[in-house]
Structure 1
């Protein structure tokens, strides 16, 4: 069945959340150790898509409404491995194979508005179908679209006394319509003791055009191992 890339909707959140929980509980690709509540996912989705105006995409098999068993060990939701670990589509009739979005990098500071951070996760049973590559190509096209603007905001005070003054937003961009995107960052966890020294995903990003901008060693600890953080940068003007 062909893979479709489309904007995510609220109906996709349960399946997106399930994929994310798998990576939290079973891998070192994220520094999180506890699953994020679905309600938080929904709030983040609204902030990214509706407030910030940034792309949030899913790769789906359209209209099947019958997701396969994930085996994702969703302890936080009472899922027992091998018994009731089959993910359900819920309101969405599409099967979510992966998701990707752009989010603010140091979003509380307006000068960072042209730089965004990439998140991309693929369902573990569909990693050999080029889902990640298709998602990245689509999110890159969105970032390069001149109509895509990052609605970055910085709260400031009217007046100088700091008391009883009205607060208002300052929106990025010379025209007040948001900032055009110049840089996409991929901030990834690397397990030096893992398979291939944890470098396989790093090589994938570099093949897509990212360059390594920095590495912090032994900065996180998960599953009994010290992890590095690697910063990769994709400059849309290069």
Structure 2
């Protein structure tokens, strides 16, 4: 008897295998971020700084620096959305910032989206990015740019493409982190005015 046949015969019939317990329902609320959310948002971001190449930051920003960024983008009227669990935990966030600091770029923003590790693969990224796009359109923003690492961020590339972003360029070996070179993929979405 072949090993594969033996293994198949060892499995009990399906009707005798207990059903897997169903996962608890994954629920959240999307809302505008507040300054009280910043420590949790920063903790989530720090995970990616320390463990991945999807951000080119090598050191996490301080809470003070992160708060200053938040206040600046809030003053400009740019959206910053968090996903909050029923227990109050921040599950992920999406925000935009100035694409470049020259005045002519004021209608173009760069988007950022990060999910807590336990929240990936559950549709939260799509919900956050959709909400961010809607809020950007309502704010009169005309163009959204996503700058995505060319390795380790395949899910992000796929998500942006599904939501209407198109690839507008690539740059190879522009960042160096964890002993290797990383490139970027530029994606862009033109927005409608609401």
Can you give the 5+ residue segments of structure 2 that lack an aligned partner in the other structure?
A: 1-25
Correspondence for 2:90: 96
Per-residue CA distance 1:181-217 (angstroms, 9 max, x = gap) = 11000011122xx5xxx54422221111100111001
Which of 83, 86, 100 in structure 2 is aligned with 1:59? 83
Partner of 1:44: 69
Q: Kindly indicate which of the two structures has a greater share of residues assigned to helix.
A: 2
Report the CA distance between 1:223 and its aligned residue.
1.1
Per the alignment, residue 129 of structure 1 pairs with: 122
SS at the partner of 1:53?
coil
CA RMSD of aligned residues (A): 1.5
Please give the alpha-carbon distance, in whole angstroms, between the structure 2 residues aligned to 1:114 and 1:201: 23
Larger Rg: 2
Match of 2:30 in 1: 5
User: Are the counterparts in 1 of residues 130 and 163 from structure 2 also a CA contact under 8 Å?
Assistant: no
- Tell me which of 129, 142, 157 is aligned to 1:182: 142
User: What residue ranges of structure 1 are gaps of 5+ in the alignment?
Assistant: 65-93, 149-179
> How many equivalent residue pairs?
168
Q: Give the aligned partner of residue 152 of structure 1.
A: none
Structure 1 Cα separation of the partners of residues 35 and 178 of structure 2? 32
Matched, 1:115 2:111: no
How far 1:119 moved relative to its partner? 0.7
Runs of 4+, deviation exceeding 3 Å: none
- Quick one: distance in 1 between partners of 2:48 and 2:179? 16
Work out which of the residue numbers 156, 160, 165 in structure 2 matches 1:201: 156
Q: Offset of 1:28 from its aligned partner?
A: 0.3
2:51 is aligned, of 9, 26, 29, to 26
TM-score (norm 1): 0.67
SS where residue 184 of structure 1 aligns? strand
Q: Report the Cα distance in structure 1 between the residues aligned to 2:148 and 2:121, rounded to whole angstroms.
A: 20
Q: Distance in 2 between matches of 1:43 and 1:22?
A: 20
